[in-house]
Chains A and B, each alone.
Chain A
């Protein structure tokens, strides 16, 4: 019984924790411009993160170490440093976007300017990262993040033509008025939104924080293979409701209000309030994950003691990195650059950093010296390698597409 509870909790947390500001903004934007013709990119992204999160989780369970920890060992200090710099910078950018996202969500329900919330939000985030136990942190925000299920409810309430929606997904047809270049640019953005690098670092470091061992591989797998796809259904719902209510009116989502508008249309004040609660939980949870991941990556490369499983005084450099990252993230939002714009860039840069961050995971999870007999099976290896090829193509195409489409216009 207790086991069932733990498993359910894990799945629910994975669903609620799947969506972050990048998923909210990108899926709503894409739905309002392209309908569901880019659903394949979200689906592809989810398959990718399921594969790589499972590998990371397995590595953490078998070796008791985060994947980042092992990158330098397995691939050398120079490659490890390149990986560190890319991963850290992308995670820091995402951290900035999440802090902005929390502030925007609170503004949406209080109408007090988001900039005024930023210092408070930053302080709250730091206090939680400093004091709150890891598992409580994960579970609390993951569960409240389930409020975003309201998007699926809104979709159902809008009585869509289900067969029409499914047709759009399986037989995608780019809308006539949108160009081919923006279409593929946003496919890459959706990839980056679904497969954010920090997700993988956090998942594997979290496995070490929670003292996983080989017997936890099953739990990690259920979380990943059930939780993440269900979370992806939420992403698709966000896109679908935008497609149904906003696309016909020529609205292109460029604000968090726009993301929530379809829910208000479908479900009224209560639905809207729940959606905003979901925004706050999802972005706050993601802010904690990205903040801690900034610390995990640096500390694990240099071999410093890291983690919340020891007292702060025993992992001083780790906590200082987290604190400095938070200060930079707060500063980034306070430059008054639109957090939605920051988010749009963060997902594309995530896509660019993906090959560097995913490749070591594939290598390490195949290494018998670390994994014993728990190395990758033939099928997952083939799939994972194919995926690596896809994300390399996406990463290479990202910058040219960004320049050519002026970031998606």
Chain B
């Protein structure tokens, strides 16, 4: 009896871990979640930079937040990359659409992290503004992954 409970519990727990998506709609769901989580990290970084541009942020705090946002974003991207897409053209189209958006976001976050450490306020502000496009794309993707 006890072993049975352990097996069931383990199975349920493992089901929570990422595995292959078995259908396009489930893959679309995971892609949508990825976009949502990526947006959260990106917007955290952008809001922190905007607050800093207004003179309302401590330098060290900004660095910590940008570094954490970048790590979080990269982790979300890596998790998405590790998911095996189902063998359908729609799934491939989804992946081809989301991957470049994620890369653009990751590049921007890296740029902001480096600029913050260097104290380069102009690059920071400019990159944050540029990234608003990536944010909009992520938002649109998470609202409607299949579009």
Contacts and interface: CB of A to CB of B under 8 A. Distances in A.
A245 B60 CA distance: 21
A276 B61 CA distance: 10
B56 A265 contact: yes
Given A261-B44, A261-B65, A264-B51, A403 B12 contact: yes
Nearest to B13: A403
Interface in B31-83: 33, 36-37, 39-40, 43-44, 46-48, 51, 54-61, 63-65, 68, 72
Nearest to B57: A264
B65 A257 contact: yes
Contacts of B68: 255, 257
A37 B9 CA distance: 31
A71 to B, nearest CB: 28
Query: Is the interface on chain B under 10, 10 to 19, 20 to 34, or 35 or more residues?
Result: 20 to 34
Nearest to A400: B12
A254 interface: yes
Contacts of A258: 44, 65
User: Do most interface residues of chain B lie in helix, strand or loop, or is the interface mixed?
Assistant: helix
23 contacts: A108-B60, A109-B60, A110-B60, A111-B63, A245-B47, A246-B47, A250-B39, A252-B40, A257-B48, A257-B68, A258-B44, A258-B65, A261-B44, A261-B47, A264-B58, A264-B61, A265-B47, A265-B56, A268-B54, A268-B56, A269-B55, A269-B56, A276-B61
A272 B82 CA distance: 38
A260 interface: yes
Contacts of B16: 403, 406
Contacts of A276: 61
Interface of B: 9, 12-13, 16, 33, 36-37, 39-40, 43-44, 46-48, 51, 54-61, 63-65, 68, 72, 139, 142
A120 interface: no
A258 to B, nearest CB: 6
Nearest to A273: B58
Contacts of B60: 108-111
A250 to B, nearest CB: 5
A107 B65 CA distance: 10
A251 interface: yes
Contacts of B46: 249
Nearest to A250: B39
Given A261-B47, A269-B55, 6 more contacts: A107-B64, A111-B64, A255-B68, A255-B72, A257-B64, A261-B48
Nearest to B12: A403
B51 A255 contact: no
A109 B48 CA distance: 14
A409 interface: yes
Contact of A109 (B54, B56, B58): B58
Given A250-B43, A257-B48, A261-B51, A109 B12 contact: no
Contacts of A409: 33
Nearest to A399: B9
